[in-house]
């Protein structure tokens, strides 16, 4: 057990010490805790006057003050003082906040109320320096941004070059050459889609999902996705049939991430459907949502596996021996939840699979581009 962990466990006990324990027992326990802990421990009275501390974070000579708020005032942390005062007057027994010190330190602060015989007698504060953790997160974010650029730029350039060749923009191809290029293009697009999914998952883990919502046409978005997948569909001799039961298909969403969702779902429908089959896409108005149904003629998914597929992509990765089997649905679910939408799967073995995407629908409401965390 690490010293810090042991120290915090003991602190919890110290915070609940009652008057039946001797002053010697309290002082001895406190001395041991201060020696063991890597965190700064501060005990105050009800007015936040400092009774005891161990000087692990606030180590400057100017930090030798008598009141905890004086430590914060010296670093102009006035909002944090207001937050703590509000906590002190409330019913909560403990709270936490982050302190960003001018000297560049990031401090996690946990504050607990100390009571004797049910009456407030002061506060216990545990301050943890997690500056190095923040540095590691920022380094990881920089790595992801660099990786995104280094992977996506050449992959998309290759994809576009193959498209030009398939369209015979650079010269006529014979049947065998064209078929071979289509297969290479399908593989290239798979790499691009997997790159997008992996990078989306990494970004989701480090900083959350940031959306740039604008007014878009869902019909145009779907048409664009189908066009991007046309060579894959041709190779499998599959057809996508789109029907719409809405008149006004313009509403607010982040087109880039919704395209990733639709490409994931359409690609999965194609991959797990036989040749010469049809994939059915239906757009309907479902109360306050746009519902996009994607139904295939594949083998289907066991009912008991559906929830696992959405919440634990690794399980399906093992089953199908490839990452795309579960990761695409997992990322799609996170993107839709960020839109306040949802995803539903209806499937039975040997009866195909239907996936329904739901997005909040407020037609004809114009808005500026906005970033939403």
Last residue of a domain, one of 155, 182, 208: 208
Max mean pLDDT range (13-22, 187-196, 218-227, 229-238)? 218-227
Please give the residue that has the higher pLDDT: either 154 or 41.
41
List pLDDT tens digits, range 83-109.
Answer: 999 999 999 999 999 999 888 889 999
Question: Would you call 79 exposed, middle or buried from its count of C-beta atoms within 10 A (0-12, 13-18, 19+)?
Answer: exposed
Whether the predicted pLDDT of 221 surpasses 50: yes
Residues 309 and 204 in one domain: no
pLDDT band (50, 70, 90) for residue 201: confident
Report the pLDDT averaged over residues 140-146. 74
342 neighbors 355 (Cβ within 8 angstroms): no
Write down the pLDDT at residue 206: 60
DSSP 322: S
The mean of the pLDDT values for the chain is 80
Above pLDDT 70, what percent of the chain? 79
Residues 285 and 238 in one domain: yes
Residues 270 and 342 in one domain: yes
Q: How far apart are CA 231 and CA 222, in angstroms?
A: 16
List pLDDT tens digits, range 267-303.
Answer: 889 888 888 999 999 999 987 899 999 999 988 877 7
Q: How far apart are CA 127 and CA 39, in angstroms?
A: 6
Whether the predicted pLDDT of 223 surpasses 70: yes
Last residue of a domain, one of 208, 241, 256: 208
Domain count, the chain: 3
Last residue of a domain, one of 190, 208, 226: 208
Residues 179 and 43 in one domain: no
Residues 180 and 239 in one domain: no
Please give the residue that has the higher pLDDT: either 185 or 333.
333
Residues 175 and 302 in one domain: no
Nearest in space to 324 (alpha carbons), one of 259, 256, 263: 263
pLDDT band (50, 70, 90) for residue 350: confident
Residues 181 and 137 in one domain: yes
List pLDDT tens digits, range 327-343.
Answer: 788 888 889 998 999 99
Query: 342: domain range?
Result: 210-373
Whether the predicted pLDDT of 234 surpasses 60: yes
332 neighbors 264 (Cβ within 8 angstroms): yes
């Amino acid at each position: 057990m690490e010293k810090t962990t042991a120290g915090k466990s003991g602190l919890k006990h110290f915070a609940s010490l009652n008057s039946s324990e001797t002053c010697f027992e309290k002082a001895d326990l406190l001395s041991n805790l201060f020696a063991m802990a890597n965190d700064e421990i501060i005990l105050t009275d009800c007015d936040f006057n400092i009774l005891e501390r161990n000087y692990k974070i606030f180590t400057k000579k100017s930090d030798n003050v008598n009141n905890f708020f004086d430590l914060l005032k010296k670093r102009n942390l006035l909002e944090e003082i207001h937050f703590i005062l509000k906590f002190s007057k409330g019913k909560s027994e403990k709270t936490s906040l982050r302190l960003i010190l001018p000297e560049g330190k990031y401090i996690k602060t946990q504050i607990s109320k100390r009571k004797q015989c049910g009456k407030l007698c002061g506060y216990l504060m545990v301050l943890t320096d997690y500056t190095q953790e923040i540095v590691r997160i920022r380094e990881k974010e920089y790595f992801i941004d660099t990786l995104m650029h280094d992977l996506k730029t050449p992959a998309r350039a290759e994809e576009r070059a193959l498209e030009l060749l398939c369209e015979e923009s650079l010269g006529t191809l014979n049947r065998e050459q064209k078929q071979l290029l289509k297969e290479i293009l399908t593989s290239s697009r798979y790499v691009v889609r997997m790159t997008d999914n992996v990078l989306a998952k990494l970004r989701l883990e480090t900083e959350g999902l940031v959306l740039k919502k604008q007014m878009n046409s869902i019909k145009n978005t779907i048409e664009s996705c189908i066009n991007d997948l046309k060579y894959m569909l041709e190779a499998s001799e599959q057809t996508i049939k789109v029907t719409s039961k809405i008149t006004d298909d313009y509403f607010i969403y982040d087109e880039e991430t919704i395209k990733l969702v639709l490409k994931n779902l359409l690609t999965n429908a194609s991959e797990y459907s036989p040749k010469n089959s049809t994939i059915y896409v239906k757009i309907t108005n479902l109360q306050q949502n746009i519902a996009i149904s994607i139904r295939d003629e594949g083998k289907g998914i066991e009912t008991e596996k559906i929830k696992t597929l959405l919440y634990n992509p690794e399980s399906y990765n093992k089953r199908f021996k490839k990452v795309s089997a579960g990761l695409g649905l997992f990322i799609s679910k996170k993107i839709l939840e960020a839109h306040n939408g949802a995803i539903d799967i209806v499937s039975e073995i040997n009866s195909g699979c239907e996936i329904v995407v739901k997005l909040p629908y407020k037609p004809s409401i114009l808005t500026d581009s906005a970033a939403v965390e």
